[in-house]
A and B are shown apart, each in its own frame.
Chain A
Amino acid sequence: MSEAVLQPAADTVAGLLQARLGPGCVHQNTVDGIPTVWIPESRIVDALTYLKTGIDRPFNLLFDLSAVDERLREHRAGLPQADFTVFYHLMSLDRDEDIRIKVGLSGEFPHVDSVTGVFANANWYEREAWDMFGITFDGHPNLTRILTPPLWEGHPLRKEHPARATEMDPYKMTQEFQDAQQESLRFDPAEWGMTAHAAHTDFMFLNLGPNHPSVHGVFRIALQLDGEVIIDAVPDIGYHHRGAEKMGERQSWHTYIPYTDRIDYLGGVMNNLPYVMAVEMMAGIEVPPRAQYIRIMLAELFRISSHLVFYGTFAQDVGQMSPVFYMFADRERLFSIIEAITGGRMHPSWFRIGGVCQDLPEGWDTMVRDFVDYMPARMDHYEKMAMQNSILKQRSVGVGQYSTEEALEWGITGPSLRATGCDWDLRRKRPYGGYDQFDFEIPVADGGDVYDRARVRIEEIRQSLRIIRQCVDNMPSGPYKATHPQTTPPPKERTMQDIETLIHHFLNVSWGPVVPPSECCMMIEATKGWNSYYLTSDGGGMSYRTRIRTPSFPALQMIPLISNGFMIADLIAIIASIDFVMADVDR
């Protein structure tokens, strides 16, 4: 790593950690400015326990946990020797600080201690890291495949694993194959420590999904039932794993943008934002004000679009058949704006490294203004139709409750966190991409139940409309793309006039930009919670490792906690209130 390795001040968290663990800590500088500490692998449980319980204003949120296959990485001067690295990204909301702990592991299939005893949500993250890298987490209660099928061989994010389907054997659906796969998916209660009988009752096991109208995609939950009451639940994911992280290692920095759209497929260009911002930070690109405003406007339009889908399907899942038709009709009006500006609907892939794809078309402001004038009355109407409906209230108030502490323990972020009374919104607490110039409120509810989660999202639609109106009123003039040499694609105007610009344009379009060796994590307030892209560049035209932290993944892990003791019908309401899409879970 070209950046100098520094010693932290003693009063910082990194300094405190160093004092506790003694020599053997290595401090790495990263572009995002998050203190990054390499610690000896044997001390990981100790270190995380200390950060979570041993200091004041502790780090109580395990934001992300994953690994990097370091074996082919060239630019890592100053970093401890490692074949694989496991990283733990912790956050302290009280301090408004992050810290990244790394442990370097040696060997083909290394081991490290599990931290499931410290953070509850580490469970799925460690399973994912085992599934993807073959790293064993000693002491993990159930280290099994999570994203790939149970009979899968190999660990896809290891560098030696083939990326392309066309490099592997063709997919053949024989009867034997189908039977074996289906059998491997059969739910075995004993494997999860469940019994079939209790003192006065026999339990029933129900398999909900992977294709079920109310699970919002290909998602499966195995339920242990006493009559209609849920005793325990086991969510099963991986039916929607599209290998987006592996894809990042073979697409150029520029051509990866369309893949981000399809992560949270209701979020459209909102997904482009953390990715392009991370690349811009690594390349040192300043985005002009007009591009920032355009980005914010489109991102907020997509927040509304996503929340409208949530609103309609939520009402439908608790039994109202009509609202979804109203919300989808409004979504179509919104899409007519998206279409006029970007030419696309769900996946415009419209943000670029250094700006946006093109300037706003003539007449955009009338369209957007009409929409923000039109929506509030509709929202009032829906309020009466859906949210004030007494049956909807009875189905959702007091159902699936959790507290702020529980939310943080399980890694819940975004509207689902703000429904518990915590006012953490990244747009306000860590204004990125120009959000500091906007006036808006952070809707917060305090019940933490299904109804409140819906309530927060609905209020967010109104706040997004406010932000969009400010975009229309104050849209700056000027370029929609930076002039920095790494801007992709580079400005075209002068390419036919001087050779320097032509060469530059040619290289940047054919090979794509080359990003200096660095690491950067950029997180945003996406539609469903905090979404981050943690990119590692090895100085090439492609990412060395692309880690996508999505808000939906931890949310599903929490389902057993909030649904046990409720009825199956309540589970449907709970699932609806989480507002997830499976592409955002399995990536």
Chain B
Amino acid sequence: MRWRLTKAEPGHPMTEVDSAYQEDVSKSVLLAKVEDLIAWSRSNSIWPFNFGLSCCYVEMATAFTSRHDISRFGSEVIRATPRQADLIVVSGTVFRKMGPVLQHLYDQLLEPRWVISMGSCANSGGMYDIYSVVQGADKFLPVDVYVPGCPPRPEALLYGITLLQQAVADNPRPLSWTVDHDGRDVHVTRNPPSQRDLKTPQRIEVTELAEPTSVGDAPLSDDLLRSKASRGS
């Protein structure tokens, strides 16, 4: 809120007062379609299901802890039951023995629901082209965002969540699903843009990479940490 002093002068209309009033209104009144509003609020409060398969789950859990703090993106409320969650992160290897269980859990998520495939195994089977592993969660689940890595860093998962948030806000899903002639959910984006393709031009501009011969900016050597340690002892 800005405050101004306006001198009342005859012959001069009080335009300043008008603009302050307008500003106030624009800050407290929002005009939007209800579905846009719902999409906006949904995108900022995606509740993930507490589900993990293997190594990636540890990095997913790390994303919930202090340094990465997923609550900055409104997604720290992990739910122990699929009925209260709207996102399942398939974090880890999709095993043949686990597949039917995963499908069962997915079916229990309430609509609208989203799927993040986290890590190479969930994306494609990764390095496990082996008899007991399903070659990607998308063999039976509609995946919205693929997060690459083995395992992906927590930051990568956070990035995946922000991408999902954009998708949720831009492409709202109805409460009931609609299928096309092939029985596929029409609201699932079939070919989401690949971030790799989008970023390639900017990446090829980097021509000099540092040799891994030095530790670089070591976060542990900062004085803050030292002083904390000495205080504690």
B partners with A: yes
Q: Tell me the A residues contacting B by CB distance below 8 Å.
A: 147-149, 156, 161-166, 168, 170-173, 177-178, 181-182, 185, 210-211, 213, 217-218, 238-243, 246-247, 258-259, 262, 265-266, 309, 324-325, 328-329, 331-333, 336-337, 340-341, 343, 345-347, 358, 361-364, 366-367, 370-371, 373-374, 376-378, 380-381, 582-583
Q: Take A218-B53, A381-B232 as given contacts and tell me if A259 and B127 are in contact as well, using a CB distance cutoff of 8 Å.
A: yes
Stretch binding the partner chain, chosen from B13-21, B57-65, B195-203:
B57-65
Q: Give every chain A residue within 8 A of B125 (Cβ-Cβ).
A: 165
Q: Give every chain B residue within 8 A of A374 (Cβ-Cβ).
A: 220, 225-226, 228-229
Q: Give every chain A residue within 8 A of B50 (Cβ-Cβ).
A: 213
B133 touches A165 (CB 8 A): yes
Q: Total number of A-B contacts with CB less than 8 angstroms?
A: 191
A336 touches B213 (CB 8 A): no
A380 touches B99 (CB 8 A): no
A171 touches B215 (CB 8 A): no
Q: In the docked arrangement, what's the CA distance between A363 and B230, Å? A: 22
Q: Give every chain A residue within 8 A of B214 (Cβ-Cβ).
A: 361-363
Q: In the docked arrangement, what's the CA distance between A266 and B51, Å? A: 18
Not counting A181-B100, A345-B153, a sample of 5 additional A-B residue pairs whose C-beta atoms are within 8 angstroms of each other reads A217-B54, A239-B95, A333-B225, A346-B55, A374-B228
- Is B233 close to A, CB under 8 A? yes
Q: Give every chain A residue within 8 A of B139 (Cβ-Cβ).
A: 170-173
Q: In the docked arrangement, what's the CA distance between A367 and B62, Å? A: 22
Q: Which of B51, B55, B61, B135 contacts A166 (CB under 8 A)?
A: B135
Q: In the docked arrangement, what's the CA distance between A48 and B12, Å? A: 108
B134 touches A177 (CB 8 A): no
A240 touches B54 (CB 8 A): yes
A545 to chain B, nearest CB (A): 16
Q: In the docked arrangement, what's the CA distance between A328 and B125, Å? A: 28
Q: Take A182-B100, A347-B55, A361-B213 as given contacts and tell me if A164 and B95 are in contact as well, using a CB distance cutoff of 8 Å.
A: no
Q: Give every chain A residue within 8 A of B67 (Cβ-Cβ).
A: 328-329, 332
- Is B33 close to A, CB under 8 A? no
Nearest 5 pairs between A and B by C-beta? A377-B232, A173-B140, A243-B130, A328-B65, A340-B215
- Is B132 close to A, CB under 8 A? yes
Q: Take A177-B100, A239-B95, A582-B54 as given contacts and tell me if A247 and B215 are in contact as well, using a CB distance cutoff of 8 Å.
A: no
Chosen A-B contacts, 18 in total, with CB atoms closer than 8 Å, are: A164-B130, A170-B139, A171-B139, A181-B97, A238-B97, A239-B95, A242-B93, A243-B128, A328-B62, A328-B66, A336-B219, A336-B220, A341-B215, A345-B151, A358-B212, A361-B213, A363-B215, A374-B220
B218 touches A329 (CB 8 A): no
A164 touches B131 (CB 8 A): yes
Q: In the docked arrangement, what's the CA distance between A380 and B221, Å? A: 21
B132 touches A178 (CB 8 A): no
A243 touches B98 (CB 8 A): no
- Is B184 close to A, CB under 8 A? no
Q: Which of A173, A246, A328, A340 contacts B218 (CB under 8 A)?
A: A340
> Within residues 53 to 108 of chain B, which ones have a CB less than 8 A from any CB in chain A?
53-55, 57-59, 61-62, 65-67, 80, 93, 95-101, 103-105
Q: Give every chain A residue within 8 A of B112 (Cβ-Cβ).
A: none
Q: Give every chain A residue within 8 A of B219 (Cβ-Cβ).
A: 333, 336
A583 touches B54 (CB 8 A): yes
A240 touches B53 (CB 8 A): yes
> Within residues 123 to 164 of chain B, which ones have a CB less than 8 A from any CB in chain A?
125, 127-135, 139-140, 150-151, 153
B101 touches A242 (CB 8 A): no
Q: In the docked arrangement, what's the CA distance between A181 and B214, Å? A: 52
Q: Take A238-B97, A242-B93, A374-B220 as given contacts and tell me if A346 and B232 are in contact as well, using a CB distance cutoff of 8 Å.
A: no
Q: In the docked arrangement, what's the CA distance between A378 and B127, Å? A: 38
Q: Take A262-B55, A265-B54, A328-B66 as given contacts and tell me if A378 and B216 are in contact as well, using a CB distance cutoff of 8 Å.
A: no
Q: Give every chain B residue within 8 A of A210 (Cβ-Cβ).
A: 98, 101
Q: In the docked arrangement, what's the CA distance between A309 and B127, Å? A: 25
Q: Give every chain B residue within 8 A of A181 (Cβ-Cβ).
A: 97, 99-100
Q: Which of B80, B105, B134 contacts A165 (CB under 8 A)?
A: B134
Interface centre among B50, B51, B230, B233 (most CB of A within 10 A): B233
A569 to chain B, nearest CB (A): 15
B178 to chain A, nearest CB (A): 20
Q: Give every chain B residue within 8 A of A331 (Cβ-Cβ).
A: 62
- Is B172 close to A, CB under 8 A? no
Q: In the docked arrangement, what's the CA distance between A539 and B220, Å? A: 47
Q: Specify the chain A residue showing the minimal Cβ separation from B55.
A: A265
Q: Give every chain A residue within 8 A of B133 (Cβ-Cβ).
A: 165, 242-243
Q: Take A171-B96, A377-B232 as given contacts and tell me if A332 and B62 are in contact as well, using a CB distance cutoff of 8 Å.
A: yes
Q: Which of A149, A238, A362 contacts B215 (CB under 8 A)?
A: A362
A346 touches B215 (CB 8 A): no
> Within residues 32 to 60 of chain B, which ones have a CB less than 8 A from any CB in chain A?
50-55, 57-59
Q: Give every chain A residue within 8 A of B65 (Cβ-Cβ).
A: 324-325, 328-329, 332
Q: In the docked arrangement, what's the CA distance between A337 and B216, Å? A: 11
A243 touches B132 (CB 8 A): yes
A361 touches B212 (CB 8 A): yes
Q: Give every chain A residue within 8 A of B212 (Cβ-Cβ).
A: 343, 358, 361
Q: In the docked arrangement, what's the CA distance between A352 and B215, Å? A: 21
A173 touches B103 (CB 8 A): yes
Q: Give every chain B residue within 8 A of A325 (Cβ-Cβ).
A: 65-66
A241 touches B229 (CB 8 A): no
A241 touches B215 (CB 8 A): no
Q: Take A173-B140, A377-B229 as given contacts and tell me if A165 and B131 are in contact as well, using a CB distance cutoff of 8 Å.
A: yes
A499 to chain B, nearest CB (A): 28
Q: Specify the chain B residue showing the minimal Cβ separation from A341.
A: B215
Q: Give every chain A residue within 8 A of B140 (Cβ-Cβ).
A: 171-173
A180 to chain B, nearest CB (A): 9
Q: Take A165-B129, A265-B54 as given contacts and tell me if A173 and B105 are in contact as well, using a CB distance cutoff of 8 Å.
A: no
B94 to chain A, nearest CB (A): 9
Q: Give every chain A residue within 8 A of B99 (Cβ-Cβ).
A: 171, 173, 181
Q: In the docked arrangement, what's the CA distance between A166 and B131, Å? A: 8
Interface centre among B57, B59, B150, B220 (most CB of A within 10 A): B220
Q: Take A165-B133, A171-B96, A178-B103 as given contacts and tell me if A377 and B215 are in contact as well, using a CB distance cutoff of 8 Å.
A: no
B129 touches A178 (CB 8 A): no
A380 touches B66 (CB 8 A): no
Q: Take A262-B55, A361-B215 as given contacts and tell me if A239 and B97 are in contact as well, using a CB distance cutoff of 8 Å.
A: yes
Q: In the docked arrangement, what's the CA distance between A213 and B55, Å? A: 15
Q: In the docked arrangement, what's the CA distance between A337 and B62, Å? A: 17
Q: Give every chain B residue within 8 A of A168 (Cβ-Cβ).
A: 131
Q: Which of A242, A265, A328, A364 contacts B130 (CB under 8 A)?
A: A242
Q: In the docked arrangement, what's the CA distance between A148 and B97, Å? A: 7
Q: Give every chain B residue within 8 A of A341 (Cβ-Cβ).
A: 215
Q: In the docked arrangement, what's the CA distance between A376 and B233, Å? A: 8
Q: In the docked arrangement, what's the CA distance between A467 and B179, Å? A: 61
Q: Specify the chain B residue showing the minimal Cβ separation from A379.
A: B232
A361 to chain B, nearest CB (A): 5
Q: In the docked arrangement, what's the CA distance between A329 and B68, Å? A: 9
B95 touches A218 (CB 8 A): yes
B76 to chain A, nearest CB (A): 12
A165 touches B135 (CB 8 A): yes
B58 touches A165 (CB 8 A): no
